Structure 1
Amino acid sequence: MMKQDTSRNATYTVDCEDFVYVVEFNPFDSGSPGSLIAYGGNNYIAIASCRFQEEDTSVNGIEFKVLKTFHHESRVDAIAWSPETRCDALPPVLRFCTAAGDKTLRVFTSDFHDQNKCQVIDGHSGYINDVVFCSCEGNDIASVSDDHTCRIWDLGGKQIAMFMLQSPGMSVAWHPEEAFKLMIAEKTGTIRFYDLTTQQAILSLESLQVPIMSADWCLKNTFRVGAVAGNDWVIWEMPRSSYPQDNKPSHADRARSFRWSKCNDNLFATTGYPGKMNSQLLIHHLGHPHPILIGSASVRSGLSWHRTLPLCVVGGYRKLYFWLTEM
C-alpha cells in the first residue's frame, strides 16, 4: 500500500486573473534576484518574478510579483524562454516565444517597460505542441506540430530547416551541453535526436507504450530521456538501448506531461489529463517504487521545475500551485 502522507496540498498558491494553460520557469540564469516565471491562458501572457524562503531567508513563504502582462491574440499552447533574457543588462532584455492556438509562433521582446515588439511566425499547418530556443545565443527556435514537422526558425521568422516526422511532434528539447543536437518526440512512440549542423537523425529511442504525449531531456544527465506514453512514465538511458530502461503505470486515465527536475537527475514529475478526477500531479524519484508526492489539487495544465530548487509549478483555475519536495 502507498503511504497516505504522500498526498499533499500545494506548498504555495498564487491567485491569477484567469485560467492558466501554460506555465514555465525561466531555465536560464537571468541575473534577477528571484526566478522569472511566465504563464498564459486564453489571450494573455504574464511575466512574474518569484522568490521562495528556501532560497532567501528574508522571504516569508513566497514573494510573487507580476512584472509585465502582454496581450496574446489567441490561446497560449506553449512558452519557451530565450537564454538572452537578462534582468541585469542595461537596458534589461526580456525575450520569449509562444505557440498559439492559431497555429503561429510569437516572439516577444521587451525591456520590461515601454519598448515591446512581437514577431509573428507563420508556417505550420497544424497545432503547435511545443517550442524551444535551440542555440546558446538564442538566435534559433524549434517548433513541433500536428502537421508532422519540426521547423527551425530565426528570430525574424525565416524558416532555416525542416524535419519531416512520421506522426505529430509532441515535444522538442534542446540541451545547453549538447548544443548541436535536438530531441524530438513523436506521438506514435519514437524519440529522435537530430544533428542541427548536418540536419540528419543520429539516434532514435522507441517506446513500447503509445501515444507519447510529452517527453523531456534531463538537464543534469544528458544520457537520460523521460516521457509519458499511454498511462505510463517511461525512462531511457542512452546509449545503452533504444528501448526503455524503466517504465511504470502512473495515471489511470492517460498521462499528459513529463518534466525532469533541473537540480536532481533522479527526480521527475508527471501530470494526468485536465478535467479528469485523477488529473493530479505526481512527483517520482527513481530510487523509490511509488510516487514520493501526490499533489492533491486537481491540476489543469502546464508543468515546470524551478532552476535550482526541487520545486515545481502547475497551472489551475485562476491559480498557480507550487509544490516543494524534500528530496
Structure 2
Amino acid sequence: MKQDAARNAAYAVDCEDYVHVVEFNPFESGDSGNLIAYGGNNYVVVGTCTFQEEEADIEGIRYKTLRTFHHGVRVDGIAWSPETRLDSLPPVIKFCTSAADMKIRLFTSDLQDKNEYKVLEGHSDFINGLVFDPKEGQEIASVSDDHTCRYGTNLSFKTISFYFSVLQLMVAEKNGTIRFYDLLAQQAILSLESEQMPLMSAHWCLKNTFKVGAVAGNDWLIWDITRSSYPQDKRPVHMDRAYLFRWSTINENLFATTGYPGKMASQFQIHHLGHPQVMWNCFVAYAVFLICVLDFSTHSPQI
C-alpha cells in the first residue's frame, strides 16, 4: 500500500484491471470487520485492511490480499454474508455478487482448498442492488430494472413479483419512492418520498435505524421515519447528478456521497449533519481503488 497525494486519497492499492465496485464487510463478528472486497471485469479480490488504531506498529493502513476469485464476467455489485468469520477453523469467507449477465453468484471459501460458487438466476434486466439477511445470512434479496425484488436462499432462487426479505427490507425506486416491506405480511408497511428524480441510491443507517439517507437529482436527502414521509434535510451535493449514498457504520451523523461517473473520474465527498460544509472532497478514478481513513472523533480524514 502506498500514499497517493496526487489523488488526494489517504492510500491507494494498485490493481491489475478496472475496479467497478468496492465493499467493506459491515459485520464485526468473528474478527472479520476489516475485510474488504473489490470486483473488476472478471475477478473479485478479498483482502484485509488493518488500521493504525488497531496495531501500534502500523502507520496509516496495512492492506493484505487473501484470495482472488475468478468471476468470468464484469462484477457490478458485492454483498457480504454475516456468516463470514476469520476466527473460525477453518475461516469462512462468504459473499455474493451481481454481474453484467444479470445473474447472482454466491461464493464460499475457507481460504484453502474449499472455493465454491453457485449461480442464482431469475432477473431479466440489470441488477441494481443485493443484500444478505443480516441475522442468519441464509437469504439474499436483490432488486433489478425488471421491476422486481427477488428472494433467494443458498440452495435456490425464488421468483417473486413483490418486494420482501427477512423481517423488513428497504427498496428504493428511481421514481423517487422508498418503500419498506414486511416478510410476514408480504406487503408494504411504510413509504418515503423524495419528490426528486432519479433517485439513484438509498441507505438505511445502522447506528440509528430511524434515519434513511439517499441521493436524488443533484441533492442528498435525510429522513427521520418517525416524523414524516418527506425529507427533514436536503442539500445540493454534486453538479452533474449524485450517484451513491452510504452512511458511516460508526457515526450516525457521518455519510459519504459520490457524483455520477464521468469519462475519467467521479467526485467523492464526506458530509457531517452537524456541519454545513463538505468535510472532504476528492475525485476518484475508475481504475484506482481508494481507501479513505476517517478519524471519527474529529470527523476529518487522516493521512
TM (norm. structure 2) is: 0.91
Q: In the alignment, is the contact (CA less than 8 A) between 1:189 and 1:209 conserved in 2?
A: yes
Instruction: Please report how far the alpha carbon of residue 157 of structure 1 lies from its aligned counterpart in structure 2 after TM superposition.
Output: 2.5
Residue 107 of structure 2: aligned partner: 108
Superposition pairs of residues 147-226 of structure 1, within 5 angstroms:
147-159=146-158, 161-163=160-162, 180-226=167-213
1:322 matches 2:287: no
Amino acid paired to 2:135: C
Aligned-partner Cα distance in 2 for 1:148–1:10? 37
Residue 236 of structure 1: aligned partner: 223
Residue 281 of structure 1: aligned partner: 268
Amino acid paired to 1:261: S
Higher relative contact order (CA 8 A, sep 6+): 1
Q: Kindly tell me: are residues 277 and 90 of structure 1, through their superposed partners in 2, closer, same or farther at Cα, counting changes over 3 Å? A: closer
Aligned-partner Cα distance in 1 for 2:68–2:40? 12
Q: Kindly tell me: are residues 30 and 36 of structure 1, through their superposed partners in 2, closer, same or farther at Cα, counting changes over 3 Å? A: farther
Instruction: Please report how far the alpha carbon of residue 319 of structure 1 lies from its aligned counterpart in structure 2 after TM superposition.
Output: 3.0
Aligned-partner Cα distance in 2 for 1:85–1:321? 22
Amino acid paired to 2:227: R
Tell me the alpha carbon deviations over residues 73-114 of structure 1, each in whole angstroms, 9 at most, x when there is no partner.
211111000000011112211100000010000000111112
Residue 168 of structure 1: aligned partner: none
Q: Kindly tell me: are residues 9 and 234 of structure 1, through their superposed partners in 2, closer, same or farther at Cα, counting changes over 3 Å? A: same
1:71 matches 2:80: no
Superposition pairs of residues 81-120 of structure 1, within 5 angstroms:
81-120=80-119
Amino acid paired to 2:178: I
Q: In the alignment, is the contact (CA less than 8 A) between 1:141 and 1:154 conserved in 2?
A: yes
Residue 284 of structure 2: aligned partner: 299
Superposition pairs of residues 238-253 of structure 1, within 5 angstroms:
238-253=225-240
Amino acid paired to 2:64: K
Tell me the alpha carbon deviations over residues 210-243 of structure 1, each in whole angstroms, 9 at most, x when there is no partner.
1010000001000000000010001111121111
Aligned-partner Cα distance in 2 for 1:24–1:282? 17
Q: In the alignment, is the contact (CA less than 8 A) between 2:265 and 2:284 conserved in 1?
A: no
Q: In the alignment, is the contact (CA less than 8 A) between 1:34 and 1:51 conserved in 2?
A: no
| Alignment size in residue pairs | 292
Residue 309 of structure 1: aligned partner: none
Instruction: Please report how far the alpha carbon of residue 55 of structure 1 lies from its aligned counterpart in structure 2 after TM superposition.
Output: 2.9
Residue 271 of structure 1: aligned partner: 258
Aligned-partner Cα distance in 1 for 2:133–2:188? 16
Q: Kindly tell me: are residues 135 and 287 of structure 1, through their superposed partners in 2, closer, same or farther at Cα, counting changes over 3 Å? A: closer
Amino acid paired to 2:25: N
SS at match of 1:31: helix
Amino acid paired to 2:287: Y
Q: Kindly tell me: are residues 199 and 160 of structure 1, through their superposed partners in 2, closer, same or farther at Cα, counting changes over 3 Å? A: farther
TM (norm. structure 1) is: 0.85
1:259 matches 2:250: no
Aligned-partner Cα distance in 2 for 1:262–1:318? 23
Instruction: Please report how far the alpha carbon of residue 31 of structure 1 lies from its aligned counterpart in structure 2 after TM superposition.
Output: 2.5
SS at match of 2:116: strand
Instruction: Please report how far the alpha carbon of residue 32 of structure 1 lies from its aligned counterpart in structure 2 after TM superposition.
Output: 3.1
Structure 1: gaps spanning 5 or more residues: 1-7, 165-171, 301-315
Residue 308 of structure 1: aligned partner: none
Tell me the alpha carbon deviations over residues 142-200 of structure 1, each in whole angstroms, 9 at most, x when there is no partner.
00000001111111123174416xxxxxxx9x8xxxx6111000000000000122211
Q: In the alignment, is the contact (CA less than 8 A) between 2:12 and 2:288 conserved in 1?
A: no
Aligned-pair identity in percent equals 61
